[in-house]
Structure 1
C-alpha cells in the first residue's frame, strides 16, 4: 500500500485507482488459475472412465460434442483465448444437458422440440449479448486500455449488457430443471430408476452450481467496476465444465450397465450374438364358407434394439 501522506494530493486518486486495478487483476489471475487447476485435476482423474466409456464407446453426435467440450476449457484457460471459446463451450454444455434430459423423456420428439427451441433461444441470446458487450467495449473511447503501472490491459467501461447473457443462461437452466422434475412426476419407469436417480443427484448438483455461479456473475456484471468484471468469469467456466463432464460420464456408466443387464448392443461390442425372445400366439382365422381354422404364430423379438439410440 502506497504511503498516501507522501503523495501530492492531485495524484492520490490516480494511485488509488491503480491499486484497485492491481488488486482486481491479481484476484482475476488467482481465480482463473484455480479454475484451471480444477479442470486439469478433473480431466486427469476421470481419464480412465473417459477412455473406457467415451473413447472405446460407439461413435455419435453426443460423443463428438462431449470430447470437444471436455477439452476446450483446457485449451482456453492455458492458451489465454478464453472469451471466444467460453461462448462456444457454454453452448455445447447446454446442448449436452439438453440431450441427457431428452433421453430421460425416452427421446420424445414433442418434448425435444420444446427443449430445442429453448436451447436455440438461449444460445442466440447469449451470443447476442456477448456481441453487444464486445461492441460496447470496442466502440467506447478508452473502453479497453493498457496500464503501464501494472503492465496489463484493463476495461475502461463496464459492459452491463453481459448481465443479459448470464440471465438467459439462468432462465434456460431453470426450464431444463423443470423438465426433469416434470418427467419424474409424470413418467415413472422401473427400468430406468437408477438412471433417473443418478441424473437427479448429479443434475441437482449441476443445476444448483450453475444457477448459483451464473447469478454471481450476473450480479458482478451489474454492479462491479470495470476492473472487477472478469474476476469470476473464467473460474466459473472451469467449474461448470467439470460439473457437466461428471454428469455425462456418470450417465454413460449407468447406460452401459443397463445395456449389459438386458443384453443390449452398444458400448459392449464384446457381446457375441443377438439375444432373441420367442413368443407363441394362437390365432383363429376366418376362411370362406364360415370355416374357422386355428393356427399358431411364433414371433421372435431381437432385444438388441438399443434403449438409448442417440447417446454414448
Structure 2
C-alpha cells in the first residue's frame, strides 16, 4: 500500500521515489526512503549500470512520521483512521471534500457544517450553519485560557425559507484584511449574501495558513457527534482528513475549535496546554521530506 501511494505521489516523472522497508515488514520501527529529485541532494554514481542516482540525505524516518506523511498525500489528503473498541480501522470518507475552495453559504454546504480558517493559528474566523434557521460568524483569538471570543455575527432565517438576515452583532466588529470574505460595513438587517461576499474561500489564499471544514456524520449522544474534519494547510496540496467525536458547546465557535487541542494542524506545530508550540526536530525532518516531495 505504501509503495502504491508513493508511486502515485511521484507519478511518471524523470526522478521517481523509491521506497525500502527495513526489519519487520509488518511493524518496522523505521522506514528507509530514498527520493530522487535533482536539487539539494548528494549524488551517487552506479558504475555498473552507468547511471547517476540522486538520493535524499535523510535515509531513515520514524514510522509514525512517515505514516502521517503518506496520509497527507493520499487521494483525500489522508485515509480516515480512527479507533473503535480498541482497534484501528480505515474507512473512506463519506463526504468528498472540496480540494481548494470551501463553500460558505447554506445553499452550497452540507447541513450542519462548521468552517474555520486562520492566518497564523493564533486568530480564527469560524462560520457555522445550524439547520434550524441559524447561521453565525465568530472571531476568536488564542489566549492562555484557550480561546477568547472577540465578536460574533448572528443571522436568523426569519422571512422566508433560505433567506438569512443579520439579527445581532456582539462585540466590537472589526474586519481585518485577511477576512476578505466579509463586508467591512455589515449592518443589522443585511442579508447573509451582503455580509458574506463570496460563495467560497480558497485555501490557496496567501492569507490562509490553515483551515478546516467539519461535516457531521452521525450523532453519538445528546452532546457528541461523530464528524469528519478536513484540515487544509500550506504544507500540503489536498486536505488531511480525521474522523473523530466532537463535543458540542453552547458557543458554536468553540465546537469548531476545541477539537484542535488533540490534533496537529501542521507538520511542525502542536497544541500544548494553552498554546501552539513548534516541534523543531520534527519540523526540520518533515520540512525536508515535504520539500523533496514537492520538488
Quick check: TM above 0.5? no
Q: Looking at both structures, which has the greater relative contact order when contacts are Cα pairs under 8 Å and sequence separation is at least 6?
A: 1
TM-score by length of 1: 0.26
Greater Rg by CA: 1
TM-score by length of 2: 0.27
